[in-house]
Amino acid sequence: MKSIWIAAAVLVIGVSAAPVEGQGFGGNVGVSADPDQFYFGAGYETAELVERLRFRPSVEVGIGDEATLITANFEFAHGIPIQRKPWSVYVGPALVIPNSHGDHGDTMPGAVSRFCSASRTAAGSSQKIKGRCHRQPRF
């Protein structure tokens, strides 16, 4: 468990020192509500695939609520132009593939997700707040 906290600290330091260019590799750190977890991970943001559309794959590890959750996320982020700089708003679909370890025993096989995020870039770093709602696929 101690090595996870050390890895999280190194990730936070590395992310805060990296220049922000709107694309490339970056780190994710945050909290989630259901399950109640602290999470960290890494992701990549592509250049625009078409006008205002980017692909953002990532891998995250969630710790807490008596479980460890590892997820692979595949987001297609559509940028919405706004007048308030340095803020950016993105919406889009995502495929979330989780893998859970812990006492709960209830794992999702995968979920289609919708998200809305607002990010602020200033002084060489970027902060983001994201809301996501999942829906189980029906086969």
Using one digit for the tens of pLDDT, what is the confidence trace for 54-112? 999 999 999 988 888 888 999 999 999 888 778 888 999 988 888 876 655 555 567 78
Using one digit for the tens of pLDDT, what is the confidence trace for 4-57? 444 444 444 444 444 444 678 888 888 887 778 888 999 999 999 999 999 999
**In this structure, are residues 48 and 64 in contact, taking their beta carbons and an 8 Å threshold?**
no
DSSP letters of 31-94?
A: EETTTTEEEEEEEEEPSPSBTTEEEEEEEEEEEETTEEEEEEEEEEEEEE--SSTTEEEEEEEE
Give residue 40's domain range.
Answer: 2-135
* pLDDT the model gives residue 18: 41
Task: Please report where in the chains the tokens 């060489």 appear, as a residue.
Answer: 124
CATH number at residue 42: 2.40.160
Q: From CA 98, how far away is CA 79, in angstroms rounded?
A: 26
* pLDDT the model gives residue 17: 40
Higher pLDDT, 3 or 69: 69
Does residue 122 carry a pLDDT above 90? no
* Burial class of residue 136 (count of CB atoms within 10 Å of its CB; 0-12, 13-18, 19+): exposed
* pLDDT the model gives residue 136: 52
* pLDDT the model gives residue 33: 79
* pLDDT the model gives residue 28: 85
- Total domain count for the chain? 1
* pLDDT the model gives residue 101: 67
Please measure the distance between the N-terminal and C-terminal CA atoms of the chain and give it in whole angstroms: 38
Tokens encoding 95: 């495929």
Task: Please report where in the chains the tokens 């992701």 appear, as a residue.
Answer: 43
